């Protein structure tokens, strides 16, 4: 193992005539990109790289302006973000030379929420009389620590009255809360100022359940019909059917108080601590013992809100795409039950739209593999999720809405809903949570797997779908108790909760959740290391390449740069090269999951997108050289000897940081490129007013017209030059935002 690896990189760069600034940048980039990785038995760990980098000789004499480069700041951030290895002399050195860099790195490492870390002790132990910026940082950190401690202690205090309850008991009280405070808001379009919004509440309940699972007895997640009945008799039935048994208002009130405190803690961590650490559009200024938020970059805030709006518009775009696909498939339409026709059509359209999205944007195959090893048809998984949602809307929420309007009391309405279910010939469960064994759930899912080969559906396919959607709470409880840092599913990503031989489901959650985001993140966040991920990346390239070919481009996928000289040795594979009308496009594709927080977005920008910009800075010159000497490449691209204009973009499956530059290269979402090539941006604008409530799904599907003169992005016909203009000016979104 070469401990002088980074010094040798710097020396080699200096011998080429590079400045110390550029040479240090090269070394820091290698460190950030996980180099060296090592080979065979001599693989480098993250700790090995930390040790080798921070022991490098070249760091000892770097001037302040070199430390202020983004790569050096990010390297320092990575050091401060871990606790295992310490190099306090580096911290002291940077504090003396460039204290602003240390402040920046401390902020972006998330140390504000890890003030017991040895890395914070290294900083706070410095002589702040000589470093006013660090002294101020220390004062700010102290305010954050006190504020966080108050909120954390409040959550801990409010957990105690609920410590004896089982996870099922908490699910019952979460359901009562949902039907009393959240579902009426959705039904009537109103809001209660004193209540958290839906996503805040769901996230807080997720955290409360994680706490409970980490502390419960293993027997509490091994349910039987008898244990469910016992829990319901004590915690649910008295609320729904007033009788001699007094409702446990004490437990319900304790749950509501804990929920409010958990929402407050989460809000502090997300909107204050994470905003302080990762949101560069604002800054926190101290006013005595209070912190005030000051806008620092209004354009960045506008861009963040605009990207959120794009996410919503894409949701309706794929619904329209799905709607058109369903209406064009008579075999699929024939399987739609006439009962609740519009709801079922809507569910099918959503499932079909998400299926198209997963194929075209995320490269998914028709079959997906669950953790248990079983394989399921992706469209059937999506259809099962959407049909469950449609069922719970029609058979739970709509009847509940009617009962609520008649009684004016959420608990009486729930009782009436449950009682009406019991009066049905088949004794239907209309309680706020449902349960079944595996066989019953498979039978319920089976009809949604119908094909020409299996017109009644397939039990094996239904089992695979169940495996894909289920979360084993016994296994998750053990993971949480053991402090296992492995990613755990959010409860909406795998909405069937296995507890022993029974599985629970929350109708109210399934009725309102975004199944598209849940399935995408099930596959891309939880399943990022699946064996199929590499194949999916290749399919993204192939499918996007096919779309370019339909527009008359010559396309080369996965081009390997011939390493004829050392300049091209690190260029690597070019994901996509497309040529038409004298334009050559070099595209670097990145595929990942849908992010939910400013912290996740910042990590994406400073890791994946930063690296993509670096890769293009190496690949574009290599492609330009190859165009002059690789006759097979020029022939494949249909290029003559005339010079070509080379345009390079980072094409990413996420919306975050859209239309920003990384090493001078534009980052654009893959979906924007798809829409630009397909020329169907009209679907972003709700052309049939489906989202305005003025049309039904079948009415909106009647029109399948091509874009008119005012709709098209290419009024004078498609050309590569106009395509460049469309992307660079974000014309796809011009009429929508």
Q: What is the dihedral sign for C-alpha 480, 485, 491, 495?
A: negative
DSSP state of 83: S
Residue 24 has pLDDT above 70, yes or no: yes
Q: What is the mean pLDDT of residues 174-192?
A: 76
End-to-end CA, the chain: 53
**Greatest Cα-to-Cα distance within the chain, rounded to the nearest angstrom:** 91
- Give residue 731's pLDDT: 95
**Two structure tokens written together for 718:** 């498609």
Q: Is the pLDDT of residue 68 over 80?
A: yes
| Tens of pLDDT, residues 377-430 | 889 889 888 988 888 888 898 899 999 999 989 999 999 999 888 877 766 788
Helix and strand element counts for the chain (H, E): 34, 16
Query: What architecture (CATH level 2) is domain 533-733?
Result: 3-Layer(aba) Sandwich (3.40)
Which of 322-326, 444-448, 549-553, 561-565 has the highest mean predicted lDDT (pLDDT)? 549-553
Q: What is the pLDDT of residue 118?
A: 97
- CB atoms closer than 10 angstroms to residue 690: 20
The residue written with tokens 């109708």 in the block is 507
Q: What is the DSSP letter of 456?
A: T
pLDDT for the residue numbered 26:
93
Say whether 58 sits in a helix, a strand or coil: helix
Write the DSSP assignment of 88-155 as a string of letters.
HHHHHHHHHH-HHHHHHHHHHTTGGG-TTSHHHHHHHTS-TTS-HHHHHHHHHHHHHHHHHHHHHHHH
655-684 pLDDT, tens digit each: 989 999 999 999 999 999 999 999 999 999
Other CB atoms within 10 A of residue 701 CB: 19
Query: What are the two backbone dihedrals, phi and then psi, of residue 554, each rounded to the nearest 5 degrees?
Result: -90, 135
Q: What is the pTM of this model?
A: 0.89
Per-residue pLDDT, 697:
43
Is 18 buried (19+), middle (13-18) or exposed (0-12) by CB count in 10 A? middle
- Contact (CB, 8 A) for 492 and 518: yes
Domain extents in the chain? 5-126, 162-268, 308-524, 533-733
Task: List the alpha helices (DSSP H) in 160-248.
Answer: 167-177, 183-188, 198-215, 225-235, 237-240
Q: Helices 46-54 and 5-15 meet at what angle, rounded to 10? A: 50
């Amino acid at each position: 193992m070469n401990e002088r690896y980074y010094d040798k990189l710097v020396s080699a760069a200096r011998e080429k005539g590079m400045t110390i600034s550029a040479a240090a940048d090269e070394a820091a980039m290698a460190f950030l990109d996980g180099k060296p990785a090592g080979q065979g038995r001599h693989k480098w760990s993250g700790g090995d790289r930390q040790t080798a980098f921070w022991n490098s000789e070249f760091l000892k004499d770097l001037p302040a302006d070199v430390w202020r480069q983004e790569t050096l700041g990010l390297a320092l951030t990575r050091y401060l973000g871990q606790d295992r290895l310490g190099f306090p002399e580096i911290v002291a050195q940077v504090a003396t030379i460039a204290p602003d860099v240390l402040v920046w790195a401390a902020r972006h490492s998330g140390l504000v929420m890890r003030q017991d870390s040895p890395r914070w002790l290294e900083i706070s132990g410095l002589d702040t009389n000589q470093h006013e910026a660090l002294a101020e940082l220390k004062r700010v950190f102290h305010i954050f620590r006190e504020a966080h401690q108050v909120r954390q202690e409040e959550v801990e205090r409010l957990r105690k009255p609920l410590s004896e309850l089982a996870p099922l008991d908490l699910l019952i009280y979460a359901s009562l809360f949902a039907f009393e405070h959240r579902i009426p808001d959705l039904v009537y379009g109103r809001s209660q100022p004193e209540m958290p919004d839906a996503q805040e509440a769901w996230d807080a309940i997720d955290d409360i359940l994680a706490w409970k699972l980490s502390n419960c007895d293993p027997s509490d997640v091994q349910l039987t019909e008898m244990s469910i009945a016992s829990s319901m008799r004590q915690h649910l039935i008295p609320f729904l059917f007033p009788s001699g048994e007094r409702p446990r208002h004490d437990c319900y009130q304790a749950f509501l108080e804990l929920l409010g405190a958990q929402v407050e803690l989460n809000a502090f961590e997300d909107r204050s601590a994470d905003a302080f650490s990762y949101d560069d559009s604002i800054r926190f200024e101290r006013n005595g013992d209070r912190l005030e938020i000051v806008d620092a970059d209004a354009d960045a805030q506008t861009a963040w809100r605009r990207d959120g709006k794009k996410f919503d518009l894409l949701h309706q775009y794929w619904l329209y795409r799905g709607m058109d696909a369903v209406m064009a498939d008579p075999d699929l339409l024939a399987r739609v039950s006439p009962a609740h026709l519009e709801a079922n059509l809507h569910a099918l359209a959503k499932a079909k739209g998400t299926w198209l999205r997963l194929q075209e944007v995320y490269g998914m195959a028709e079959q997906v593999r669950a953790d248990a090893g079983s394989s399921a048809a992706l469209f059937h998984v999506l259809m099962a999720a959407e049909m469950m949602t449609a069922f719970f809307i029609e058979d739970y929420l709509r009847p509940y809405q009617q009962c609520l309007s008649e009684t004016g009391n959420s608990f009486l309405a729930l009782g009436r809903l449950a009682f009406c279910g019991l009066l049905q010939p088949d004794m239907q469960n209309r309680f706020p949570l449902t349960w079944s064994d595996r066989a019953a759930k498979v039978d319920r899912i089976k009809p949604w797997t119908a094909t020409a080969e299996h017109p009644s559906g397939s039990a094996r396919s239904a089992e695979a779908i169940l495996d894909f959607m289920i979360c084993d709470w016994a296994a998750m409880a053990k993971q949480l108790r053991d402090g296992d840092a492995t990613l755990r599913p959010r409860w909406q990503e795998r909405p069937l909760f296995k507890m022993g031989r029974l599985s629970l489901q929350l109708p109210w959650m399934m009725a309102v959740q975004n199944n598209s985001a849940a399935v995408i993140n099930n596959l891309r966040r939880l399943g990022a290391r699946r064996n199929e991920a590499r194949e999916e990346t290749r399919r993204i390239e192939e499918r996007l390449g096919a779309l370019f070919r339909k527009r008359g481009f010559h396309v080369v996928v996965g081009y390997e740069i011939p390493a004829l000289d050392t300049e091209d040795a690190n260029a690597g594979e070019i994901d996509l090269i497309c040529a038409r009308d004298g334009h050559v496009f070099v595209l670097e594709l990145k595929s990942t999951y849908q992010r939910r927080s400013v912290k996740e977005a910042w990590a994406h920008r400073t890791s994946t997108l930063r690296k993509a910009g670096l890769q293009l800075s190496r690949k574009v010159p290599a492609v330009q050289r190859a165009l002059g000497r690789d006759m097979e490449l020029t022939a494949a691209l249909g290029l003559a000897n005339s010079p070509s204009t080379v345009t390079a973009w980072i094409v990413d499956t996420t919306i975050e940081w859209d239309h920003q530059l990384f090493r001078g290269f534009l980052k654009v979402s893959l979906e924007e490129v798809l829409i630009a090539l397909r020329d169907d941006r009209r679907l972003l604008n709700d052309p049939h007013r489906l989202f305005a409530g003025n049309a039904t799904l079948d009415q909106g599907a009647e029109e399948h017209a091509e874009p008119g003169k005012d709709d098209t992005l290419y009024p004078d016909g498609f050309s590569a030059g106009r395509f460049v203009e469309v992307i660079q000016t974000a014309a796809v979104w011009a009429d929508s935002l």
